[in-house]
Amino acid sequence: MRQFRWNPNRGDWSGDDTPRRPTSPASLSLLLLVPLALILFAGGPSLVAFLTELLWFDEVNAAQVFWIRIWPQALLFVAASLVSFAVLYLSWRPALARIDLPDEMFLSRKRQRQLLFLAALILSLFQGAGARGRWEEALLFLSGVPFGVDDPLFGRDLAFYIFRLPFITFLRQWLQGLFVLAFGGVALLIALGGTTRGQQMPFPLARAEKRQLSLLGSTIALFWSLGFFLARYDLLYSSRGVAFGASYTDVFAELPALTILAGLTFFLALIVLVGLSRKTWKFAGLILALWALANLALRGAYPGIIQKYVVEPNEYQRERPFIEHNITATLRAYGLDTVEALAFDPLPTTTAEMVAANPETIANIRLWDEATLLRSYRQLQEIRSYYDFADIDIDRYDFDGDYRQVMLAPRELDLTQLQNPTWVNRHLEFTHGYGLVMNPVNEVTATGQPVLWARDLPPRLSVPLVIDRPQIYYGEKASTYALVRTTVQEFDYPMGGSNVRTTYDGTGGIAVGSFWRKVLFSLRLGDSELFFSDALTAESRILLYRNVGERVRKIAPFLLFDGDPYLTVIDGRLLWILDGYTTTDRYPYAEQIALRLGRTTERINYIRNSVKVTVDAYDGTVFFYAVDETDPLLKAWRKIFPGLIQDGDSLPDAVRAHIRYPKDLFRIQGEIFRTYHMTDPNTFYNKEDVWTTALDRQGKSLDPYYLMMRLEEDPEFTLIAPFLPVGRNNMIAWLAARSDGPNYGELFLYRFPKQTLIYGPSQIEALIDQHPEISAQLSLWGQRGSEVIRGQVLVIPIDRSILYVQPLYLKAENSDLPELKRVIVASGNRISWAETLDEALWGLVGSPAPEAPPARQEEREKPPLLAEEDNTARLIRQAQERWDSAQEALRRGDWEAYGRNMADVEALLKRLVTLTETPDRTDEGPPSIPDGLL
């Protein structure tokens, strides 16, 4: 084995004169091809994803959005990689050149440079990849607009903290990390050179080595100093004090400490840069030791001393101005600074005159809980096992001047329930849901079921509503791709013993008929059957991202979206409406709140419902509309993505009539407002008047709910939430958000007098439990094996009174179909219940006012706008409805439902016979009974 020894006289490694073997060109090529092959192997799927994403963005007319997202990422990656390579290679190359290593032991000099080049290249690519993900921060840095509000500590416009500071902070950290990497590489090479010379650590450094290390170390110290300086601004997000934001200790202890440390670190950088080359290591070490002591004293001990001995003995006086900053910023950040607070001193009870004066409110009192109604929909209208209703949506429609609140649900396809889930069935044949179910919120059939204004397949409508395209290709449950315009006709809807077929005729989808498109999407989806299928033609299209939430997030990832898309019927088409939010967690002094997004939690302290989005359920067309054009965050994103979000004036009137104040935003605002309604700093500090959302009898928080109520002249679609004092069950206030017309987005707070007891929902439920008749009947139903389901207690303002309404449902032991059995109403200490809302109301307030007698619930099988019908016609229609339901149950083999519906038919026919035999009938004769019922 050949031996080498360091020759200090010659300054190199000595050995024999055996000629070195030259480097093989083949081995060098192999060395360079390995990383290239790895890049191609890893980049293949990325290329496929890139091409298919580009095709999809082009389909939704958002190709510009795609490229605006790609180019900043590419530029950041290239720029960061080039800068990283320049810093690393130009730092390491001189260090390598100054050390002399034996070629046979440490490769040839050329191979050493090649490995150094490769190491710098790989590390720079990693550095570039880390910077690429900050494209949003970079674009906001360049496109931010002023907020017009300055922070109270440094006097800077909030745009600095929200748009510029995040990218500046990242850039400083990234550059500091890069120079630390360069410093570490140089130090490693120098140590390697000294070790190979047989020197013991620590060994003396050459002048050039000292100069290079001092330059890199000084640069690191400069970035470190900048970090301390920028950390001063982070005090605006401190949680040290009694309120979020910079506190007394932060301002008078932490802020000076950071300023001093920034100065000391900057001085240390100068000493390292100048002093090391002059052999002043000891002086630099002294400065470093002084810096370490200052850091411990100024950021550790000193703030603790100030907090304990200055702040805590006089906490309110010290913290008061900072509490005021926190309250002001929080209310502004969550859009609560414009809440109009009104005193509301209700009368003891609701009167008959109040009921008669508010027919629109009474006619739109919701008797159906969403969960209960969903169970009814699934039992009555799923029709087939592969259909499902995801949830219940609440909206309002103007039916020829009759403004009605309705509940509805789209009938979507659930592929997991297919009896034969073959590839053809999942992707070519069963491609879409069909139609919807709609009912008024307060109408009930004679059998306790909702009155369905839209039902069955194909849709049958009892209101002046047109549905030209009932197919639902894009919805809440859609989770996989669909192939349309193939040789396989799509299943449209069931009819009797056969099925109706259809072929997609929309503009949605990406052409997939060509050979290369099939290759591309087969690779993207990991589905070889797509490529080998004979069903695809030149006209075939593939529908991707069919879940409406996923679809809009794909186009606009910078927005957060409400968790409840809702379906509307507009101009004969089914249209989804989604609420988009602009958010940030960088609003100075504003309290933060946690948002649950799927499996992750994101903290924010600013939110605006700035965007409304529509998605066509048939062709997937997406439109974004700006509804809060004053929002600075939205202005910045519109500068970044011009043309994506249209002006609010472009929102069609038909869509504007259905936009509603979103529940998710209202919940967030309610959670903040229950504390921040206390604008007096002393009250806030002592937490004297903290509220909580209304609770039911089990202590569960009640969800905000939509209500038709009169705030000014006309009834409005309003979202309300009652509040209770913490630890008590009486109601203290309620918050309302308006959804209609020019008043959209306005918030009202109605405060009840603290000296007056206003029952909360749980107290009303306790009074109901104490009612002898109600309690006895509930016990009787329970003994018979039926399940009593108590609906949500609704708090409904009627003029200057409060009305409470709770529906009661009954579910048989062997059935999953709940029936509305009773309606309980209460006002003050009075409680009434009956089979219908009208009867319960008049039992509460006395005889109906003669000028406005409301119709009985079961007599309103159609809304008043269509026709006024007598009892005979009503009974005939109800009997026909139950007959149809019985026949449908018979077709699907549901014998229990068949028997129940036939029993209802029999009861209705008996009532009809009794009615036609009464002596005061006219001479027109009995009405004809449909043949199908005989």
Q: Alpha-carbon distance 795 to 704, whole Å?
A: 10
> What band does 927 get if pLDDT is binned at 50, 70 and 90?
very low
Q: Which residues of 871-908 are buried (b: 16+ CB within 10 A; e: fewer)?
A: ebebbbbbbbbbbbbbebbeeeeeeebbebbbebbebb
- In the numeric block, the tokens 């030791």 are attached to 289
Residue 509 clears pLDDT 90, i.e. is over it? yes
Cβ of 316: how many Cβ atoms within 10 Å? 13
- From the CA atom positions of the chain, what is the Rg in Å? 37
Q: List, for residues 232-258, the tens digit of each pLDDT value.
A: 999 999 999 999 999 999 999 999 999
Question: What would the two tokens of residue 465 be?
Answer: 């509503």
Which burial class, exposed, middle or buried, applies to 773 when counting CB atoms under 10 A from its CB (0-12, 13-18, 19+)? exposed
**3-state SS class at 543:** strand
**Can you tell me the distance from the alpha carbon of 626 to that of 638, in angstroms, rounded to the nearest whole number?**
9
18 or 802: which leads in pLDDT: 802
Q: State pLDDT tens for residues 177-224.
A: 999 999 999 988 888 776 665 555 566 777 788 888 889 989 999 999
Comparing 784 with 320, the larger pLDDT belongs to 320
Res. 863: pLDDT tops 50 = no
How far is the C-alpha of 137 from the C-alpha of 81, rounded, in Å? 18
SS3 272: helix
| Residue 107 confidence (pLDDT) above 80 | no
Say if residue 855's pLDDT is above 60. Answer: no
pLDDT in tens, 360-373: 999 999 999 999 99
Residue 819 confidence (pLDDT): 93
At 903 the pLDDT is: 73
d(CA 22, CA 479) in angstroms, rounded, equals 60
Can you give the pLDDT at residue 867? Answer: 30
Q: pLDDT value at position 883?
A: 77
- Kindly state the average pLDDT of the residues 90-114: 75
pLDDT at residue 173 tops 90 = yes
Instruction: State yes or no: pLDDT of 919 exceeds 50.
Output: no
Long-range contacts of residues 491-500, Cβ cutoff 8 Å, at least 24 apart: 491/429, 491/430, 491/431, 492/432, 492/434, 493/434, 493/435, 493/457, 493/458, 494/383, 494/384, 494/457, 495/457, 496/891
**Owner of token pair 């449908």:** 888
836 Cβ contact list (under 8 Å, min separation 6): 444, 823, 856, 857, 858
pLDDT at 905: 77
- Could you tell me the pLDDT band of residue 549, with boundaries at 50, 70 and 90? very high
Are β-strands 622-626 and 645-646 bridged in parallel, bridged antiparallel, or unpaired?
Answer: parallel
Q: Supply the pLDDT for residue 268.
A: 84
Confidence (pLDDT) at 700:
81
- In terms of C-beta density within 10 A (0-12 exposed, 13-18 middle, 19 or more buried), how is residue 403 classed? middle
pLDDT at residue 791, rounded to an integer: 92
Question: What pLDDT score was predicted for residue 35?
Answer: 53
Q: What is the mean pLDDT of residues 388-398?
A: 95
Residue 206's CB is within 10 A of a number of other CB atoms, namely 12
- Alpha carbons 659 and 706: distance in angstroms, whole number: 13
Peptide bond into 459 cis (omega under 30): no
410 falls in which pLDDT band (50, 70, 90)?
very high
Which pLDDT belongs to residue 100? 64
The confidence score (pLDDT) of residue 916 equals 56
Note if the bond before 94 is cis, omega within 30 degrees: no
Q: Which of 11-20, 279-288, 660-669, 893-902 is predicted with the least confidence, judged by mean pLDDT?
A: 11-20
Pairing of strands 412-413, 490-495: unpaired
Distances (CA, A) of 662 to 99, 152, 202, 642: 68, 32, 67, 26
CA atoms of 474 and 534, how far apart (whole Å): 25
Note the pLDDT of residue 880: 76
Tell me, what amino acid is at 929?
A: I
pLDDT at residue 784 in the model: 74
- Residue 598: predicted pLDDT: 62
pTM, two decimals, is 0.84
Give the pLDDT band (50/70/90) at residue 861: very low
Task: Report which of residues 576 and 114 the model is more confident about.
Answer: 576
Strand locations in 345-470, DSSP E?
387-388, 393-399, 402-410, 412-413, 433-434, 436-440, 454-455, 460-461
For 509, the 3-state DSSP assignment is coil
Higher pLDDT, 400 or 43: 400
- In this prediction, residue 1 carries a pLDDT of 43
> Looking at residues 590-594, what average pLDDT do you find?
94
Cβ partners under 8 Å of residue 895, min gap 6: 889
540-573 b/e (C-beta count within 10 Å ≥ 16 → b) = bbbbbbbbbbebbbbbbebbbbbebbbbbbbeeb
Q: What is the mean pLDDT of residues 880-900?
A: 70
Q: Which of 472, 469, 467, 466 is nearest to 411 (CA)?
A: 472
Between 625 and 898, name the one with better pLDDT: 625
Q: Say how far apart CA 711 and CA 718 lie, in whole Å.
A: 9
**Element of type H or E holding 805:** strand 801-811
For residue 638, the model assigns a pLDDT of 97
Length of the chain: 934
Angstrom distance (rounded) from CA 799 to CA 348: 12
Q: Are 819 and 326 in contact (CB under 8 A)?
A: no
Q: What is the mean pLDDT of the segment spanning 456-476?
A: 94
User: Which pLDDT tens digit goes with each residue over 677-716?
Assistant: 999 999 999 999 999 998 877 778 889 999 998 887 788 9
Q: For residue 721, which of 710, 742, 707 has the smallest C-alpha distance?
A: 707
Q: Which token pair is 17?
A: 């004169």
Res. 3: pLDDT tops 50: no
Helix segments in 245-369, DSSP class H: 248-249, 255-275, 281-296, 302-306, 315-333, 352-357, 359-363
Q: Percentage of the chain surpassing pLDDT 90?
A: 64
d(CA 310, CA 318): 8
Four-residue CA torsion sign, 673, 677, 681, 685? negative
Given a cut of 60, is residue 578 above it in pLDDT? Answer: yes
**pLDDT at res. 580:** 96
Q: If you average pLDDT over every residue of the chain, what do you get?
A: 86
**Model confidence over 428-441: pLDDT tens digits?**
999 999 999 999 99
pLDDT of residue 532 exceeding 50: yes
- Highest mean pLDDT among 95-99, 251-255, 755-759, 844-848 belongs to 251-255
What's residue 860's pLDDT? 37
Q: Which residues contact 460 (CB under 8 A, 6 or more apart)?
A: 454
Q: What is the pLDDT of residue 913?
A: 66
User: Which residues on neighbouring strands pair with residue 498, listed in sequence order?
Assistant: 495
Question: Do 362 and 441 meet the contact criterion of CB atoms below 8 Å apart?
Answer: no
278-304 residue pLDDT tens: 555 666 677 778 878 888 888 888 999
878: left (phi over 0), alpha (psi -120 to 50) or beta: alpha
- 110 versus 861: the higher-pLDDT residue is 110
Of 558, 606, 556, nearest to 140 by C-alpha is 558
| C-alpha–C-alpha distance, residues 646 and 624, integer Å | 6
Give dist(CA 38, CA 47) in Å, integer.
14
Task: Identify the sign of the CA torsion 690, 692, 694, 695.
Answer: negative
Instruction: Answer yes or no: is pLDDT of 824 > 90.
Output: yes
